[in-house]
Structure 1
């Protein structure tokens, strides 16, 4: 393999992308997301708010498909809507409105009129819970415009919106405006006796002092309404009969009102405890999620460090292999060059070699050295100028000497001077004196230079032969 580093990184990238691709494929499967939605709805209905939230958030956080998928977008919109309903249950109307807005955007991208209609209606409910009647009426009005696109299909939704707008206007005591929605509700005979319609119209009757109609409507609520509506109906009847001075009836419905109030209080206490428990579990789960996310970040960081370290090790290994190959190739060239020089040495003209030797020995610097060596005082040391002159003399006799020597290996001044004296023809004992080193040091230097140049062990004489061959 010419590029092992590239191969390793390519293989690693393929493994990671395959794993991510499989995970992404599973998380974007419509059947998987649909099962999460069903599980989340079941958990919400059973009061397991934390589990429900996790299911819906998995749907919302699912990565987008390669091609637009209407089914997945619809599931995400439904998940946002269910989260909004859960926030409404926990009296978090502001957060619910945010969820409904996000759901609306997804329904709008799918051109889903029904989904958009329900989001407008839910937004109206959320703003009604926040005591913002103007916003409530605004979103109900937008929903009503969608209802008008298919009146027969959205007949129940029309009545529901009319009830919400009528309730909002009754709370504001805007009786003239409320009358318009009351008449719209009264005209719908199909949904006239539903609990929501009965309670809304009872409130309206009581507000405009139509006590007879309020009485009749409240009696219907007591038979078919839920606990909260029956409590309010009993209150209406109590006030009406007190106003009419029908004390026995007023007393009877006062007792009913007290019973309903006790039941409502018990229900709300239970509901509050359940809600507090859900909020506690939600907070606890959030803390666990924060910890898990922090751990995941650490694991991802460690994984990145491990991958980078592995890539660095592989890179160092590859570069080391390449460097070794280059060094071996260079060494082969050096050895071939050495063999060529040895061969050339044997083929040299004896007269030419004698002339070069005579040129060195007739030089002033060589005579200067010999003259001091003959004195035998043992104190002679060559100065820098002497070394430069000797190097120039050798270079004149052998023009390629310095070039070949430095091509073979790098050396310091002491090693170069030893090699220069060998080329000049001095014996190791003399070289030791001229360089102010011991004979053993000179021998070790020659042996070390041969090993450094040819990457194999040799004798001091091997280095001498090489120097004389240059």
Structure 2
């Protein structure tokens, strides 16, 4: 009894000593996970690709609780956004929902910011605007630990969306907020960039004095902190304004700095970076104001030919109009005046199409929340209407296909009846020939001519019969696929055009047999290319035609057929054995 009590006591002591050890091990593991997540977070700003590698390793190796797992998913979304990798909005919504309930203000702001970026990259401006607004609302700006750098980025995106969608006053508010929070984050470069970005909005509002003033200040700030190329590129809009005002002498020093130091213009080949082709117009106007007409024409035509953007075409046409006006060439003046007007109309139409329909949605964020339920109902209604329309189209297509099939069958039957009629005619003609043979000699001369005529007609009818039999054999081999559009196209490729079939034609070929279970089940044991070859054999294409359609050698086609015969039947056999087998299905 004493020994039993002693054993129990020893077991309890061992258990008591093991539990703290286990807790310590678990705690150490979770602390290591926290350290690795923190390391990946620090890498996300300076080396996002390395951060992604570390995150992938953490996902695969560390057993962590849900909180840490969700933090890791949020960090992964942040890094993917940095690397401009595509992301699912549905999974991002799940992350945002989780941190809405369990995260701190910075985590909530980050989750909604990334969700807004995903919609922004997907060209869905209304949804992007909604989630950027929500992200900004999640920030706690009274807390010193607030991620002001992220908040600055959010307002930068808001400013860009509002500017692009013709709401400059609201864009200006968002841009100034971006500058404010960049300063609080001590992010000097983005603060100056945000300040310089105001010039675009002030130019749109027609406040040219503010544009020039801000450009001068931002350029000096860029130079102060060593960003020479940014300093030079900040003169872009002021240069345009000065050129439009005809201040050629005033613009020259700025133009030299811009072209030499901005990194946007290659002076050796007189070429500007894509997206900045308006600079050709600026160069052309400078030469035009100096009466250097040939140089001006060179840059105007360069802008006209190197971009399809309507705004650039408008500027180039305007420049050529002014050039030929100075040259007193009335025909060219008329031509480029019309081109200028057409480009202006096109630019306005494009702006209307892309932006004006979204303006109301852009300006009032609260409207999205108020109308969310109604929008959801509309979407559901649209879905049902789309389904009904699709079903109606499918029914019409099926009905049309059946009508075409009925027409073809009727035509075939009519042709068969016609051939039978030909055969009866041939029989009658042969009988007539026998009768002619027993006619009297005194009618021989006249009858020989008639016999020859009948023989020629018999020969013609026999040729038609032979041609029909040949076509009937081909049709029999291909039935019921001979009249399918894709089969006719492939046969034309192989016999006349000598081109390979496209990827879309491959898909149509494979879908043709989906309803034929005995054939389509072969997909389970064959690769896609083998199954494709199998279908071509089934349709009666010869090896040389298959060679033309697929680009495979004749030897390769023969080997694949032997290999498929063995795999499907379990027997050894030749390529011809395979052809017989597959055509028998």
TM-score (structure 2 length as normaliser): 0.40
Larger Rg: 1
Higher relative contact order (CA 8 A, sep 6+): 1
